[in-house]
Amino acid sequence: MAKAAVIPTRMELKKLKGRLQTARRGHKLLKDKRDELMRQFMDIIRLNKELRTKVEQGLTDAFGSLQVASSIMSPEMLEQALLYPRQSVELDMTFKNIMSVNVPQYKFQTQNTDPSEIYPYGFAQTSGELDDALDNMARVFQDMLELAQIEKTMQLLAEEIEKTRRRVNALEYVMIPELETNIKYITMKLAENENSTKVRLLKVKDMVLQDAHHYQQ
Amino acid sequence: MRPMFKIGVIGGRETVVGFKALGLDTFPVESLEEAKATLRKMTDAGDPSYAIIYVEENLAAGLQSEINRWKDSPTPAIILIPGREGSIGLGQSALKAAVERAIGTNLLGDD
C-alpha cells in the first residue's frame, strides 16, 4: 500500500529509487549469507549428533565402571581416593569467525602431561576397577570437550541464522514491495500532474486565441 | 598470556565424583534450588570464569531459563550430560530445538 505520507516529488522519487537499490543489494547479500550459514549449520548438526551419541554412550559406560568400582570399595574409601585430584585442567579459549559469528575454540591443558598421572591415589587401597573407571572417564572427556565446542557453535549459528532469515524476509516481503509501490505511486502522480498541466496549457491557448482573433476551431 | 578458563560440572554427588579426578571443578548438588544457585554463581562474572559448564540432564529440566540466558553469548557453553541413570534425551532435544530455531522446522525427524 502506498502511504499517504509520501510526497510525490522528483526528489522523493530519486531518494526512494536509491533506497530500493540498496535494499535489493542488501537482500541479495543477506540471502547469500543465510545460505552459507545454513550449509555450515547442516555440517555442524550432523557432527553434533554423532558426538552426542558418542559422549552419552561413553559416559554411560564410564558411570557403569564407576558403579562397579564403588560397589567393590566402600563409599568412604572411594571419596577419599578421589578427594584430592592430582590433575588439574585449564582451558584455553580462542575464537573462530564463521561468517561473522564468533565461535569459541577450546584447547585444554592438563598440568600433568603424563597420562598415568590421572590416578590421584595410591594403588594399595583401591581396586583396579577404579583405575578402569577413571581411564574411561579420561577418554570420554576428550569427546565431551569437542561436544561443548560443537554445541556452542551450533547454538550461536542458530541464533545468527534466525536473525539473518528474519532480515531477509523483512526485506523481501515488506521493505522492497513497499518501496516499489511508493515509487509507482510517485511516478503515476507525476505523470498525472504533467498531463493536467498540458491540458491546462491547451485550454489557456484556446482561450487566448479566442480573445485575440475570435478564432474558432 | 591469555587468561585461562575453567570447566565446571554440576550434578548429583555420584555423577560428579568421576570428573573430579580429571581435574574439573565439580559442584555436587542435592536439590534443584542448590543447582540453580550454583549455576548462577558460576555464570555471574567470577574472575577465573567458567568457559564450559556441564550440567546433569535431570537437573537441567528445571534450569531451562538459566540455561537459555546464556544460549546466545559465546561464553559460557552450558552442555547437558546424561546422569548416572543414563540419557533421558534432553541433550538430543536441545539439538532439535536449535535446528527448529534456525530453520523453522524440524529436519531431523523424530528418531
- pLDDT tens-digit map of A75-84: 777 767 776 6
Report d(CA B89, CA A215) in Å as an integer. 96
Question: In this structure, are residues A12 and A78 in contact, taking their beta carbons and an 8 Å threshold?
Answer: no
Q: How many other C-beta atoms are found inside a 10 Å radius of the C-beta of residue A42?
A: 14
Per-residue pLDDT at B60: 79
Give the pairing type, strands B50-56 and B6-11: parallel
- The CA distances from residue A75 to A4, A71, A128, in Å, are 79, 8, 15
Return d(Cα A44, Cα B96) in angstroms, integer.
Answer: 13
Q: Is B82 exposed, middle or buried (0-12, 13-18, 19+ CB in 10 A)?
A: buried
Grid cell 533506497 — which residue?
A: A19
Contact A190, A10 (CB under 8 A): yes
Chain B's closest residue to A48, CA to CA, is B95
When scoring B2, B13, B17 by the number of chain A Cβ atoms within 10 A, the one with the most, hence best to mutate, is B17
SS3 A87: coil
| Contact predicate A150/A51, CB 8 Å | yes
- Top-ranked range on mean pLDDT: pick from A41-50, A86-95, A110-119, A188-197: A188-197
The average confidence (pLDDT) of chain A is: 83
| pLDDT > 70 fraction of chain A, expressed in percent and rounded | 82
Which pLDDT does position A95 carry in this prediction? 84
Q: What is the mean pLDDT of chain B?
A: 77
Say which residue, A76 or A106, is predicted with more confidence. Answer: A106
How many C-beta neighbours within 10 Å does residue B91 have? 22
Interface residue of B7, B67, B84, B105 to substitute, partner A, most A CBs within 10 Å: B7
Contact A160, A37 (CB under 8 A): yes
Q: Show Cβ contacts of residue A200 under 8 Å, excluding neighbours closer than 6 positions.
A: none
Cis peptide before B82 (omega within 30 of 0): no
**Which residue from B7, B71, B79 is facing A91, i.e. has the nearest CB?**
B7
Asked whether the beta carbons of residue B51 and residue A79 sit closer than 8 angstroms, the reply is no
**Nearest CA among A143, A135, A132 for reference residue A118:** A135
Supply the pLDDT for residue B111.
43
Average pLDDT over residues B83-105: 75
Mutual orientation of helices A128-170 and B90-103 as an angle, nearest 10°?
20
What's residue A200's pLDDT?
96
**Residues A178-204, buried b or exposed e (16+ Cβ, 10 A)?**
bbeebbebbeebeeeeeeeeeeeeeee
pLDDT higher than 70, residue A151: yes
The confidence band for B58, taking pLDDT boundaries of 50, 70 and 90, is confident
Nearest to B51 among A60, A93, A157 (CB): A93
The answer to whether the CB atoms of A52 and B5 lie below 8 A apart is no
Predicted local distance difference test score (pLDDT) of residue A168: 94
Quick: pLDDT tens for A110-135.
Answer: 665 555 566 666 666 666 777 777 77
Q: Is the ipTM reported for this complex over the cut 0.85?
A: no
Q: How far is B47 from chain A (nearest CA, A)?
A: 14
Residue A117 vs residues A86, A122, A176: alpha-carbon distances, Å: 7, 11, 64
